[in-house]
Structure 1
Amino acid sequence: MNELMIPLDTKSLTPLYQQIEEYLKQEIQEGRLVAGMRLPSSRALSANLLVSRSTIETAYDQLVAEGYIEPVAYKGYYVCEIEGIYFQKAEYTKQNNPEKTEIKQRRKLHKYRYDFALNGIAPESFPTHTWKQLAKQVLSDSTEEIFAQGNPYGEDSFREAIAEYLYHARGVKCEKSQILVGAGNDYLLMVLATLFECNKKVAMENPTYLSAWYDLKHTGCSVCTVKSDEMGICIEELEKTGADVVYVMPSHQFPMGTVMPLKRRMELLRWADENQTYIIEDDYDSEFRYKGKPIPALQGFDKNERVIYIGTFSKSIAPSIRISYMALPKKLMRYYQSRYPFAVTISKVDQKIVELFLRNGHYERHLNRMRRLYKSKHDWILRWVKEEMSEICSCFGEHAGIHLLLRFHNGISEDEAVECAKSAGIRVYGLSEFFVQEKKETEAVVLIGYATLTEEEIKEALQILSRIWKKEY
């Protein structure tokens, strides 16, 4: 089979890949496409339907995942035997019952066909082949030692690889003996809370990274908020709090997207020195920067060991990897070692895989691919907003990271913008969700993340958002 005539509605809110998927699914369910039948290649079908190959491939991938078709190497896609597969038959809806139809349509829409998620990665970007090879190498080369209980701080060779990477990539100056590794930032913040003996006052920007806020609150720390400006956390306001510790994200503050300039960083270090306090530097999204010259980590400018540096591989590799790291000042590390340390929460096998991923140059190549991929999405969104949506909103926070902020100036409120998007099956995130206390600002701002969506999905979703936010529906 070389051709399939699939009716597509380009004006429908339902994305093209989903229309193709539903059509093929129905044809298979009703027996018009029988088991063993070969489907057109993605190239042939995209040419026939005048859509992109990625649209066809997305539809095919979903059908493969649901067991309707299967790929055969060097041959193509074939219809599976679906006997025994459960599927819900379409219900007949009477035309004289519009209320029921409307309810069903609303339910369908609220499943979010497009989610501008703020966490996650591009699914197709994970280096699966390389990861499998490294895992196989680690397990085949392993001795009894790799299955024995390891170093409670993390394996020496892994910590050394992290220290080397941080020095060359972020300007962080530390020895492997200062590195702690753990399964996520939550674990590392819990460790810090025990070091602070849960009685420190921690200052954070507002709005802020709520996960860290709750981590610190739940471990017994007293947490207060400090307002920020276009340069980051306000030092004068910070001084008024009497805080013992401050938590900041100078490379790319979440959610505001602020990149703290060097002048403000120096002021922050001076505050810490004068008050004999610590700075927790969460190097959030530091790997992805699109404008300006990269600024080294705050820790690299620290001459008096006042900065506690935290980083993660969750954003750059995958959230499921669950490997984070922390570089402690030597004094704090000695204090931690004098107590009974927590056992490391990452298996030795996983540590070794990531170590090889770093040492063999795979991580650098992976980051370069990810930067190109994310920059393409980032630049397209900026162009679209400037050319097609400038009358209703503008972008900011675009210098780094994997999300952007849209500020509305057409009279639409934040809640209205979020709800309008929701009604169209699109999820965006209101800035007010990330304020610890009640938001005082009246401006309407939403966040859109672009890592997990394909360029095709981003384009389709933004076209819909542009219409509904302009109230052209």
Structure 2
Amino acid sequence: MNELTMSLKSRSRLPLYEQIYSYIKTDIQQGRIAYGEKLPSTRALSKHLEVSRSTVELAYEQLLSEGYIESEPYKGFFVAQTEELYHLVRERKQASAVKREEKKYRYDFSPNGVDLRSFPYNAWRKLSKDILVDDRTELFRSGDSKGEYGFRNAICSYLHQARGVNCSPEQIIVGAGSDYILMLLSMVLGREHRIAFENPAYKQAYRMANALDYETVPVSLDRNGMKVSELEETGADIAYVTPSHQYPTGIVMPINRRMELLRWAAKEEGRYIVEDDYDSEYRYKGKPIPALKGYDAHEKVIYLGTFSKSIAPAIRLSYIVLPGPLLEEYERRNDFVHSTVSKVDQMIVQRFIEEGYYERHLNKTRALYKSRHDVLIEGLKSMSDILTISGEHAGVHLLLTFRNGMTEEELIQRAKAEDIRVYGMSDYWIGKREETEATILLGYANLTEEQIREAAEILNRCFR
């Protein structure tokens, strides 16, 4: 720390050294200056605050005497460890910090995992270097509010080839992450809507809808996905669905249910389906089913896509494909909103797609995840008498439903005792929770095959 800025009152009854002392002491108590952090030298701080050096020395001496700071010869002053001191504000801060800290597990079956070891660093580095090799000032100017046209065109080509979606670059809006895209969509739609969510649900989208003050309603699932008859009864005019791989159950919505959902939307003006095509790249059985948007003859489907799962979470690149009526609404009212993704990042991903790196990366990760998927299922076979596996045909996680009399919490705690983290289905229920057998989620994307084998062997013992 080279500087420490504070407001000193020259006309105060409190001497300047006491003001400096009080300011630093409060910052240490409240954690704004952390344990071990170096304070400015007395010479530097006196110059910065425009006070005499002796004034700062007096403040530091008081802090030293009370144990807030320590002096190390030839090095300077450092914040001391003050755990033994009682400070209510600091204790509260520490308590909240403990809540945020999560235990590190030896085996973490996170359903949101991504294998970053397989990330094509060399290709990414090459593309970044190529794009920035010349002094191209246009890269750093404000770009198209929807996102760069070339990037949106690359997304169109990918959606046509991989997801059976026919759209134009004009329909696509690029944003930094799915949360931003949902906020932008709320500006286009307006707030006078009731949104139906699958139950159990993708919780982040559900939380966002509530935070944006939408009325939300849960709709039950059967083996084909959202029950359209129940959806009709809710009075909702927007249905948020994950048809290619329902999160978290893993249900792949068949064509008949998709048609039923599209008929529901076409019945009334103003009804829309939000299709979140999360995880659609990973499928292990049967032919890929085109996105629901690919069957949208009446412009009723709002399509959401992201590169965060298929490339890396830090690639905060998501996009939305708006149907015609909503595109007109966006262009009439909201095109003043600038894209939240830099032109450089858009151009890197554009080239990543156009030059075939993205397809090769997907093929590589599909093979990796399929192999881990197979290893996990093989490792769980010996428990077939006490559990049923589901959701295993797509995505990067599967579900285990137990019939051994254990509760979900018992399963989680038994695994935790063995330094294994598993995830309960109860975390994904919204509204009324249905009475079901204990179910846990196991994700396998960020574990090696050897780790999966080891963890499965331990789970075989602790779940008996």
Q: State the TM bucket, normalised to the shorter chain.
A: 0.7 to 0.9
Segment drifting more, 247-256 vs 458-467: 458-467
RMSD between aligned residues? 1.2
**Paired residues of 2:307 and 2:315 also in contact (CA < 8 A):** yes
Which of residues 307, 313, 317 is equivalent to 1:313? 307
| 1:409 correspondence with 2:403 | yes
Q: Deviations over 1:43-93 (max 9, x none)?
A: xxxxxxxxxxxxxxxxxxxxxxxxxxxxxxxxxxxxxxxxxxxxxxxxxxx
Segment drifting more, 313-322 vs 431-440: 431-440
Q: Deviations over 1:124-150 (max 9, x none)?
A: 111111000001011114511111001
| 1:116 correspondence with 2:97 | no
Residues 66-465 of structure 1 mapped to structure 2, 5 A cutoff: 111-141=104-134, 143-276=136-269, 277-341=271-335, 342-386=337-381, 388-465=382-459
Helix, strand or coil: the match of 1:319?
A: coil
* Partner residue, 1:5: none
Q: TM-score, normalised by structure 1?
A: 0.75
Helix, strand or coil: the match of 1:163?
A: helix
Amino acid aligned to 1:403: H
**Paired residues of 2:113 and 2:443 also in contact (CA < 8 A):** no
Amino acid aligned to 1:325: Y
1:318 and 1:132 map into 2 onto residues whose CA distance is 15
Shift of 1:459: 1.1
2:412 and 2:444 map into 1 onto residues whose CA distance is 17
1:223 and 1:306 map into 2 onto residues whose CA distance is 19
Alignment gaps of 5+ in structure 1: 1-108
**Paired residues of 1:110 and 1:423 also in contact (CA < 8 A):** no
1:255 and 1:151 map into 2 onto residues whose CA distance is 35
Shift of 1:269: 0.3
1:182 and 1:304 map into 2 onto residues whose CA distance is 25
How many corresponding residue pairs?
361
**Paired residues of 1:110 and 1:422 also in contact (CA < 8 A):** no
Helix, strand or coil: the match of 1:246?
A: strand
Helix, strand or coil: the match of 2:314?
A: helix
1:120 and 1:343 map into 2 onto residues whose CA distance is 31
Structure 1 residues 142 and 314, CA, compared in 2 at 3 Å: closer, same or farther? farther
Shift of 1:284: 1.5
**Paired residues of 1:204 and 1:226 also in contact (CA < 8 A):** yes
1:146 and 1:172 map into 2 onto residues whose CA distance is 30
**Paired residues of 1:282 and 1:311 also in contact (CA < 8 A):** yes
Amino acid aligned to 1:244: D
1:339 and 1:253 map into 2 onto residues whose CA distance is 33
1:142 and 1:212 map into 2 onto residues whose CA distance is 40
1:171 and 1:343 map into 2 onto residues whose CA distance is 29
Q: Deviations over 1:277-318 (max 9, x none)?
A: 100000111100000111100001010100000011111100
Amino acid aligned to 2:127: L
**Paired residues of 1:120 and 1:318 also in contact (CA < 8 A):** no
Q: TM-score, normalised by structure 2?
A: 0.76
1:180 and 1:123 map into 2 onto residues whose CA distance is 27
Shift of 1:440: 2.4
2:258 and 2:380 map into 1 onto residues whose CA distance is 31
Q: Deviations over 1:70-125 (max 9, x none)?
A: xxxxxxxxxxxxxxxxxxxxxxxxxxxxxxxxxxxxxxx95311111121311211
Percent identity at matched positions? 52
**Paired residues of 1:385 and 1:394 also in contact (CA < 8 A):** no
2:140 and 2:345 map into 1 onto residues whose CA distance is 11
2:384 and 2:334 map into 1 onto residues whose CA distance is 57
Helix, strand or coil: the match of 2:369?
A: helix
Segment drifting more, 301-310 vs 134-143: 134-143
Amino acid aligned to 1:426: I
Shift of 1:340: 3.5
1:118 and 1:111 map into 2 onto residues whose CA distance is 16
Amino acid aligned to 2:299: E
Amino acid aligned to 1:445: T
Alignment gaps of 5+ in structure 2: 1-101
**Paired residues of 2:224 and 2:254 also in contact (CA < 8 A):** yes
Q: Deviations over 1:214-248 (max 9, x none)?
A: 11111111111100100000010000011110000
Q: Deviations over 1:352-400 (max 9, x none)?
A: 00000000000001100000000001111112222x2112212100110
**Paired residues of 1:199 and 1:220 also in contact (CA < 8 A):** no
Q: Deviations over 1:405-439 (max 9, x none)?
A: 00111111111001111111111000011001242
Q: Deviations over 1:305-360 (max 9, x none)?
A: 00000011111100110101111012211110111332111110000000000000
Q: Which runs of at least 4 in structure 1 moved beyond 6 Å after TM superposition? A: none
Structure 1 residues 306 and 183, CA, compared in 2 at 3 Å: closer, same or farther? same
**Which is greater in Rg?**
2
**Paired residues of 2:113 and 2:444 also in contact (CA < 8 A):** no
Shift of 1:196: 1.8
Helix, strand or coil: the match of 2:147?
A: coil
